[in-house]
């Protein structure tokens, strides 16, 4: 029987054979001596003030087809049992869905804002996101709501796992961006970071990306929901997402970091459209307050 531990054991095993890949960096020794084990990696360029640089180093774990299959299988089973396990969902996303990631990369390249994001490679982390500054914004702004979301749930922008199983640098950034805007999506769609909220978000993401990991969670995740109010909410959200996800602006093409001072409601209408926003099922009114 598969258990969560297996994915950890596999990661531990593959870690022994991984190759440390340095991307777009200069390497030098602090003592100008190559005999020392201590190395420092220097970013070769800077983008926008809030982005700095895409990961100057990342650990790439090379795997065989069989190993990727085992990783994907174990991750899929674990993610179905607990849709809030970001580590399992991350592994599943990296070991499946290459064609979908290539399509997402093309969609970004064909969009003016998406192309700018690919050029600047912004990162959503503590270096670029100051929660205290966000909480000083007007309470109706997107930035304030996002900062409050992080504060209430005790989330850290740096918590997202790094890409380990994707060789292509461009696709590695696409899935990195997809992960790092996850909490932005929660705020835009007014979904809590619980099992019900994650399943609802996966239905919207499936409509936009068709990534295997989102499809798997969207189709089988509802089987884990037992609360009657949450079941009703998910049914309504499935219908809404099916009708509106593709009509909405592609989330990965939105430069969220530039929109913190925008009014949240206005931003929601801009992304989802009037019909989409007005008809969107609200978790707070349908589940929390009922």
**Per-residue model confidence as pLDDT tens digits over 48-82:** 433 444 545 556 666 666 766 676 677 777 766 77
DSSP one-letter code for 288: I
Q: Is the pLDDT of residue 37 over 50?
A: no
Give dist(CA 25, CA 185) in Å, integer: 32
Q: Considering Cα of 13, then 14, then 17, then 18, what sign does the dihedral take?
A: negative
Q: Is the pLDDT of residue 152 over 90?
A: yes
Q: What is the pLDDT of residue 94?
A: 67
Domain limits for position 141: 4-288
Residues of the chain above pLDDT 70, percent: 70
Q: State residue 28 phi and psi, 5-degree precision.
A: -145, 160
What's the structural domain count of the chain?
A: 1
Q: Is the pLDDT of residue 262 over 50?
A: yes
Of the pLDDT bands very low, low, confident and very high (cuts 50, 70, 90), residue 254 is very high
Give dist(CA 258, CA 104) in Å, integer: 21
pTM of the model: 0.74
Q: Is the pLDDT of residue 218 over 70?
A: yes
Q: What is the pLDDT of residue 53?
A: 46
Q: Is the pLDDT of residue 140 over 70?
A: yes
Give dist(CA 43, CA 26) in Å, integer: 7
Q: What is the mean pLDDT of the chain?
A: 78
């Amino acid at each position: 029987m598969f258990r969560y531990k297996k994915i950890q054991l596999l990661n531990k095993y593959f870690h022994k054979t991984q190759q440390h890949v340095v991307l777009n960096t200069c390497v030098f020794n602090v003592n100008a001596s190559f005999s020392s084990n201590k190395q420092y990696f220097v970013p070769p360029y800077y983008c926008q003030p809030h982005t700095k640089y895409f990961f100057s180093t990342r650990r790439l774990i090379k795997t065989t087809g069989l190993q990727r299959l085992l990783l994907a299988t174990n991750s899929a089973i674990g993610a179905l049992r607990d849709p809030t396990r970001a580590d399992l969902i991350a592994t599943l996303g990296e070991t499946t869905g290459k064609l979908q990631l290539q399509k997402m990369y093309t969609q970004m390249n064909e969009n003016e804002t998406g192309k700018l994001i690919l050029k600047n490679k912004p990162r959503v982390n503590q270096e670029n996101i100051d929660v205290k500054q966000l909480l000083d914004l007007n309470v109706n702004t997107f930035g304030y709501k996002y900062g409050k979301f992080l504060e209430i749930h005790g989330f850290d922008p740096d918590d997202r796992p790094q890409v380990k199983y994707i060789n292509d640098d461009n696709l590695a950034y696409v899935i990195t961006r997809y992960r790092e805007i996850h909490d932005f999506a929660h705020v835009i769609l007014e979904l809590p970071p619980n099992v019900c909220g994650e399943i609802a978000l996966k239905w919207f993401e499936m409509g936009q990306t068709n990534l295997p990991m989102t499809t798997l969670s969207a189709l089988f995740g509802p089987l884990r929901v037992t609360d009657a109010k949450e079941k009703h909410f998910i049914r309504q959200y499935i219908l809404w997402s099916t009708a509106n996800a593709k009509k909405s602006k592609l989330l990965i093409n939105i430069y969220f970091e530039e929109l913190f001072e925008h009014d949240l409601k206005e931003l929601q209408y801009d992304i989802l459209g009037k019909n989409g926003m007005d008809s969107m099922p609200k978790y707070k009114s349908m589940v929390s307050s009922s």
